[in-house]
């Protein structure tokens, strides 16, 4: 039995997945999916259950941009920073987004509504600049279209 993380949901995930081959990534993905991020308090429990050091677990969490160690906003907005999107206005879109949302890339708005994240390719290179909101990909996003998409989020 792994040590308690002070979160029964996290403990259940660790116990359910710890015997899988290569269990670390499935555990981290499931924790993030369930809790919304990977709390630092879960690292010792994961490490002990998998016979890894805390540094090894932390190293994986910090290596992959997908994993977050702080609570995320209600909505995640990702702006592509790949060269193809940059060539058609992604940098300007980034500046507009940070100004409009009053937050920086990699941060969450003060009200906790939107987390603004940079990504380095959304696989939509011919239709940039691209933005992904949640699981929905948007192509050829102008500052005006960005504002419309954000307004739709606020209406939800």
Note whether 85 and 133 are same-domain residues: yes
Q: Residues 124-148: pLDDT tens digits?
A: 999 999 999 988 999 999 999 999 9
- What's the CATH code of the domain at 101? 3.40.30.10
Burial class (CB in 10 A: 0-12, 13-18, 19+), 26: middle
Q: Are 46 and 24 in contact (CB under 8 A)?
A: yes
Of 3-7, 16-20, 43-47, the least confident: 3-7
CB 113 within 8 A of CB 153: yes
Quote the pTM value.
0.74
Split into its structural domains, the chain has a count of: 2
Strand partners, 114: 75
The percent of residues in the chain predicted with pLDDT above 70, rounded, is 98
| Residue 132 is assigned to a structural domain of this protein | yes
Q: Which residues of 82-117 are buried (b: 16+ CB within 10 A; e: fewer)?
A: bebbbebbbeebbebbeeebebebebbbeeebbbbb
The pLDDT of residue 156: 73
The pLDDT of residue 1 is above 50:
no
Element (H, E) at 92: helix 90-101
Choose one of 43, 63, 83: the last residue of a domain: 63
What residue numbers bound the domain in which 18 lies? Answer: 8-63
- Contact of 120 with 80, CB cutoff 8 Å: yes
Give the model confidence (pLDDT) of 53-110 as tens digits.
999 999 999 998 789 998 899 999 999 999 999 999 999 999 999 999 999 998 999 9
Dist CA 38 CA 105 (whole Å): 19
- Does the pLDDT of residue 2 top 50, yes or no? no
Q: What is the pLDDT of residue 3?
A: 62
């Amino acid at each position: 039995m792994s040590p308690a993380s002070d979160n029964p949901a996290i403990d259940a995930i660790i116990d359910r997945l710890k015997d899988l081959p290569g269990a670390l990534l499935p555990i981290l993905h499931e924790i993030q999916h369930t809790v919304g991020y990977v709390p630092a308090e879960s690292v010792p429990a994961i490490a002990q259950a998998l016979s890894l050091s805390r540094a090894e677990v932390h190293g994986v969490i910090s290596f992959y941009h997908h994993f977050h160690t702080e609570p995320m906003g209600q909505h995640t907005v990702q702006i592509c920073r790949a060269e193809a999107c940059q060539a058609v206005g992604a940098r300007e879109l980034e500046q507009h987004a940070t100004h409009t949302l009053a937050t920086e890339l990699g941060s969450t708005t003060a009200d906790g509504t939107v987390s603004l994240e940079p990504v380095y390719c959304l696989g939509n290179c011919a239709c940039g600049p691209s933005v992904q909101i949640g699981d929905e990909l948007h192509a050829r996003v102008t500052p005006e279209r960005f504002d419309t998409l954000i307004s739709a989020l606020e209406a939800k």
